[in-house]
Structures are given as structure tokens and as C-alpha cells.
Structure 1
Amino acid sequence: MYALIVIISIIFFISCLLFLDYQLGKRNHIKNLRFLDFEPTTGDYNLYTNGDQLFTDLFDDLRHAKKQINVMFFIVKDDDISHELLELLKKKAQEGLRVRLMVDRIGSFRINKATVKQLEQAGIEFTFSSTPKFPFLYYRIQRRNHRKITIIDDEIGYVGGFNMGQEYLGRDAELGNWRDYHLRLIGDVVKDLQITFFDDWYLNTGESYDHIPEPTSEGSKEVEITSTDGGQLEDVFMTLIQQAQDEIFIGTPYFIPSERLMKALLSAMDRGVDVKVIVPMKADHLFVKEAGLPYLSRVRKAGGEVYFFDLGFYHAKVIIIDQELCDIGTANFDRRSLFLNKEVNTLIFNKRFVMDLRLAYLRDVQDSQPFDDHYTQLFNLGTKIRIGLAYLVRPLL
């Protein structure tokens, strides 16, 4: 009995310490938010929904680089496609190009000291981003740099949802086909991606950037980069939802909105806006599906349409408003992206592109199962218990 009391006391003490760490870390984070405020600019773009074509073009652009390469990923793994990227970067550094590589410390935990040493010996400038440290260690563990940016010769930019790993090529036996969205950008917009990259580079290396060259091509379409550091993203999404008059299409692997965003969606449906949400049928993390089910149920009950993508894993992050504009980037529609992570998204105002994206979205609807009465009947006791547990950890999902 005494031993049990001691164990409970220790657990309670540790829980209090973690809670205090989280709250103090959150206060410090909010006090020191970094928001890179970009104006609408111009650019041209290609959309990728398939990892094979994306990595083919990305690697081809890297091979033809002449001056410098800046790469940032949330996840780089220890597998064939990751090795191909690292070997290509080493080769370009050995050719005399300036190559910078930055990866999230926890997301890319598979990159070990030996790998870092090999990269640096090849001439690559390498740094981990968002390394957890004191004070506020527990809170900093939750704060991830979720951005995925590549800039080549100050002219070509890549940004979107794909990380570097075999599953992003659809080679994971459990998750299967991988649906995601990624952009290849040229034009003035590339400079804003550069600024985002170098802001993170400065925070992790202390090396400031004095001058970023203007891209030689301007681009012909209106675009805008939004680089958020937790907190501001909720306002970005609120603006998109509140301006919708006809339809809001949301694609996300995790649907765990803030209550403010949830109320905005319900209000949009009250004024007659058609709301559709696609999420994956399969879950790739513990509790994320269960955490989203109550919100998805509220959307459905309010008259919205909810679909579970069933042709592999759905990792796309997209919002389409009124067939007029869209948001594609790294941010999920969840609490972690809204309030903890560093994210970077691209707003596109070109109606023709938005219409093509809308058609791609509706094709994904055809490969999904609707969240109808039959599905809700499948909720067993185990699912309900997991929903309750997921409710407790929503801020971290």
C-alpha cells in the first residue's frame, strides 16, 4: 500500500512539473512569436499529388543547380529515397556549390552523428532546427519546425506536404498509396520562401542573411506566402472561412480545429456555405482519428459533408474557397499546426488553377467513403474510450 502511494505521488508530481513546464513554455512562446508578414506577390507553379513525379523533378532540379541549394524538411529518414537526396546534396557541395541543409531535430531523429559528419565533410552546411532544450524542455519537445522548403539557385522553390521517406512514394505496406500536395514555384514568390528559410537558419546557426537576390523571373499569377509560428495560423484560416460565400473544401490528415474555427465553420454552414471535409480512413498516429471524430460529427450534423479517403493515406493540406482561391502548404487543420508548429503555406488566387485543384479534390471524394449513419454505427466501446482519451491530449494532436 505504501509503495502504491509513493508511485501515485511520483506520477502526480511529474504531471504537475510537465503541466507547469507546458504553461510557462506556452507563455514564453506567445510572447516571442515570429510572424513573417508577406504581401501578395507573383509567381508560377506546378502542383504535385504524387511523390514519384515530385521527387523526379526535385532531384532533376537539384542536379542542374549552378550556385546554391537551401533545403529544409521536417522528416528525412534513413531509407533509399533519403539516401539519394543526401548523396545528391553531397555531390553538389563537392562540385563547389553552397549547400545548406536544415531538418527538424525530432522529426529527423534518424540522422545521427555519423551522418552529420559525412555531410559536413562533403562541404554541406548542416543544422538541426527546433532542438529541445531547457528551459521549458517539455514544451519545446512539442514545438516542431514542420516546414518543407527547397530553394535552388534563388530561382526555383518547392513547398508543400511531402517529407523525405519511402512512404511518401506509396511504398509503405500499411499506409499504401500516398495522397499529398506539393508545389514547384518560380517568380518573385521564391524570395519569400528564401526569407522564411533564412529566418530559421539564423535562429539555429546565428548566421544572419544580408541580401537575398531577386529572382530573374517575376511570374504571372498572384500568390502569397504565409509563414506562421503557431498562433497566427488560426487567424489566417479564420479569414478564409469568414469570406466564403458558396463553398469551403478542406483536405487534411488531421481534423482537430480550435473551437473558434469550429464555430466559424458552423456559422458558414448557417449562411448556406457548402462545406466538405476529406480526412484519411487510416490513421498514422495514435489518437488523431479519434480526436477528430467529434468535430467531424458536428460538421456532418450541421449539414456539411465528411469523407474518409480510402485509396491509401491522405496527407494533403488544402483549403479551397468559392472556386476563387486556395491554400496549399505544410499546415494541418489541427491544434499542433495552429498553435505549436512552424508552418509555411501558399495562397493562390488564380481561378483557373483553383478550378483544376477543385476537380482533383472532387476526384478524391470519389475515392472516399462518406461519414454517414452506417459509419457511426461502427463506433464500439473501444472507439468511445479512445475518443475520451484523445480529448485530454487535443492540444498535442
Structure 2
Amino acid sequence: MIYDDVGSLTTLPYHFEKKLEKMGIQCVVFNPFIPLVSIAMNHRDHRKICIIDGNIGYSGGFNLADEYMNVKMRFGHWKDTGIRLEGQGVWNLTTMFLSTWNAYRHQDHDYKQYQPSDLPPIQDDGYVVAYGDSPVDHEDTGEHIYLNMINQAQEEILIMTPYFIIDETMMKAFLLARRKGVRIQIITPGIPDKKNVYHVTRSYYYSLMKEGVEFYEYQPGFVHAKMVLCDQRIATVGTINFDYRSLYLHFECNIMMTQKSVIQDISRDFQETLALSQKVTLKQSRRFRGIYEAILRLFAPLM
């Protein structure tokens, strides 16, 4: 098990990793927090990866916490998305996990023993690839893939994201997509988990809605899903939010798919979520651009 120390700082007991080790569970604490000493706390491990025998892999928005399973409802109903992979598609997730594990424990140098062995029949209706994003490799993979999907869309872009705090490059990509006639629908939370981030997210509505971008807020609660679907043809689901932290500071992972059957499932999930969401009007969006929101935007890279 690997868990992010800063992300778990207020929820796990002191030296939780030692308790796990006593139970026979090997554990790595990612980027341990040491008061007054730690200087790279913005580099967080935001990935969610679960691998079983090298043959089955899970990823998506899910953390291990009660609200993610709606056992505890802190922000209304928690809406999330996840992907189950089988076979060769699991391998990228495995190597992401092992590369981090070995950075701390240096014990699994032979990755081949974790390669998938129980391979299901290959589906010939598309492709699946899991990809990672790192703040230390000087390659903004997550942002580049989002931008490429937006730029190449011809008819429709569907997005679910908990946070929407974008830079000028991303803003221009959305505006150019609209000007060539692409319909864009974006679902964000109706109930926030972080109120200041919620204010900043809403402050971006007006500029895009003037060009015809449609925003919807999920009424039952909080949307934690990170999903982009373009032209009913290609989709990506995973951990990467539309915000500065995910795109530039965190270790992240997503799964890109072109498989027709999975695309249909993703599209159906989006439409079911849309039916539970309320469309934001242009008049409403004007009210989300006050002085408070303008001040918060100055601190957007920290949110």
C-alpha cells in the first residue's frame, strides 16, 4: 500500500504505516510530512490505483474514505467514476505503482513477475491506455491530452469535474471549440467540498457561457468524477482535475479509451448525471463574478 501523507494527515492516526506493517501489510508513505522541514508538500500523490495479481486494475476518482461510498454524506450524495481493466491494459498502472514503490523501498527490480498472465480475449473495437502525469518530468501530459481532445473535437465535448480552475491556454481552447460549432456541456458540483474553490470554479462560468458553453450543477451533492468524452468516440477517466494542482503539481493517472462499448457506458453515465443537474443561466453566472471571486482567483494556483 502507498498513501499520500499530506492528504491523509488529518484522517489517519500517527505512524499508521507502522500499524499496517505489524499486520503484515507492507506500506510506503508518499512524501512524509515533517513540520518545518518539508518543503515540497505541493507534490502530492493524487493517483488512485488498485492492482490484483497483475491481471485486474482499478483507477478513477475513488479514495478510501466513507464519503466516497456514501456511507457518510458530508456533501450530499457523492458522485464518482472509476474504471476496471483486465489484461494487458493493467500493465501501465502496475509500472506506475512499482516505480513509486521502488523509489522508497528498492525491493522490486524485476517488474516482469507482475506482468499480466491471465489474458482475456482481445476486443477489436478500440484501444485502452493508462497514462500517468508527473510534476518532475517537465512534461504536462494531463494538460496536453485534455487540450488535444478539446482541439480535435468536431461535434461535442462532455465533461464532469469537481473543480474548474483553468489557465488562458485552456480557456482559449474551449472558446475556439465553441467558435467552430462544438457543443460543450460541463457538470460541476451542486454542493461544494471546498467553498473557496467552489467560488473560483463558478467565476469561470460567465466568460465561457457568453460563447455558448453549458454549465450544469449536480443537485444531489458533490461531483468528484474526472471525465472527458469527445464526439462519442474517445474518452478519458481518472484522477486529473481541471485545476492547477492536478495539471502541474500532483502525480496523477488517467485511462484513455476508444472502445465503443465502454464509450457507450460513459455516455450513458453522463446523461444520467445530467438529468440530476440544474443548468446554470447566463444571468446567474453574472452574479458569480464578484470582488471576492476576483481576489480568490489570485490564489488559484494554490487551490
TM-score in same-fold range (> 0.5): yes
Q: Does 1:131 align with 2:32?
A: yes
Could you say what secondary structure the match of 1:284 adopts?
A: coil
Q: Given the two structures, how large is their TM-score scaled by the length of structure 2? A: 0.90
Q: CA offset at residue 129 of structure 1?
A: 0.8
Matches within 5 A, 1:236-385: 236-376=145-285, 379=288, 384-385=290-291
Q: In the alignment, is the contact (CA less than 8 A) between 1:309 and 1:364 conserved in 2?
A: yes
Between the two structures, name the one with larger relative contact order (CA 8 Å, sep ≥ 6). Answer: 2
Aligned to 2:65: 165
Q: In the alignment, is the contact (CA less than 8 A) between 1:262 and 1:295 conserved in 2?
A: no
Instruction: Supply the AA of the counterpart residue of 2:81.
Output: Y
Aligned to 1:52: none
Aligned to 2:130: 225
Greater helix share, structure number: 1
Q: Does 1:393 align with 2:296?
A: no
Q: CA offset at residue 217 of structure 1?
A: 0.6
Instruction: Supply the AA of the counterpart residue of 1:298.
Output: S
Once the two structures are superposed, what CA deviation does each residue of 1:223-260 show, in whole Å capped at 9, x if it has no partner?
01110013332111111111111111111000112211
Q: In the alignment, is the contact (CA less than 8 A) between 1:255 and 1:296 conserved in 2?
A: no
Instruction: Supply the AA of the counterpart residue of 2:290.
Output: K
Q: In the alignment, is the contact (CA less than 8 A) between 1:247 and 1:274 conserved in 2?
A: yes
Q: In the alignment, is the contact (CA less than 8 A) between 1:169 and 1:177 conserved in 2?
A: no
Show structure 1 runs of 5+ residues with no match: 1-100
RMSD of Structure 2 on Structure 1 (CA)? 2.1
Instruction: Supply the AA of the counterpart residue of 2:109.
Output: Y
Q: Given the two structures, how large is their TM-score scaled by the length of structure 1? A: 0.70
Aligned partners of 1:160, 1:146: CA distance in 2, in Å?
10
Aligned partners of 2:70, 2:99: CA distance in 1, in Å?
32
Aligned partners of 2:248, 2:230: CA distance in 1, in Å?
23
Could you say what secondary structure the match of 1:277 adopts?
A: strand
Moved over 6 A (4+): 133-136
Query: For 1:115, which of 16, 33, 36 is the aligned residue?
Result: 16
Pair 227,171 (structure 1): closer, same or farther in 2 beyond 3 Å: same
Q: In the alignment, is the contact (CA less than 8 A) between 2:92 and 2:131 conserved in 1?
A: no
Could you say what secondary structure the match of 1:227 adopts?
A: strand
Q: CA offset at residue 306 of structure 1?
A: 0.6
Could you say what secondary structure the match of 2:270 adopts?
A: helix
Query: For 2:101, which of 186, 201, 217 is the aligned residue?
Result: 201
Once the two structures are superposed, what CA deviation does each residue of 1:76-119 show, in whole Å capped at 9, x if it has no partner?
xxxxxxxxxxxxxxxxxxxxxxxxx1100111223334532221
Q: Does 1:143 align with 2:43?
A: yes
Instruction: Supply the AA of the counterpart residue of 1:115.
Output: F
Aligned partners of 1:354, 1:129: CA distance in 2, in Å?
33
Aligned partners of 1:208, 1:200: CA distance in 2, in Å?
11
Q: May I ask how many residue pairs the two structures share in their alignment?
A: 293
Q: In the alignment, is the contact (CA less than 8 A) between 2:153 and 2:182 conserved in 1?
A: yes
Pair 391,377 (structure 1): closer, same or farther in 2 beyond 3 Å: closer
Aligned partners of 2:275, 2:111: CA distance in 1, in Å?
47
Aligned partners of 1:367, 1:240: CA distance in 2, in Å?
26
Instruction: Supply the AA of the counterpart residue of 1:227.
Output: G
Q: In the alignment, is the contact (CA less than 8 A) between 1:299 and 1:306 conserved in 2?
A: no
Instruction: Supply the AA of the counterpart residue of 1:274.
Output: R
Once the two structures are superposed, what CA deviation does each residue of 1:159-216 show, in whole Å capped at 9, x if it has no partner?
0101111111223344121110011111101111100001111223334532233312
Aligned partners of 1:173, 1:158: CA distance in 2, in Å?
23
| Structure having the higher Rg | 1
Aligned to 2:6: 106
Show structure 2 runs of 5+ residues with no match: none
Pair 171,124 (structure 1): closer, same or farther in 2 beyond 3 Å: closer
Instruction: Supply the AA of the counterpart residue of 2:29.
Output: F
Aligned to 1:190: 90
Aligned partners of 1:374, 1:303: CA distance in 2, in Å?
13
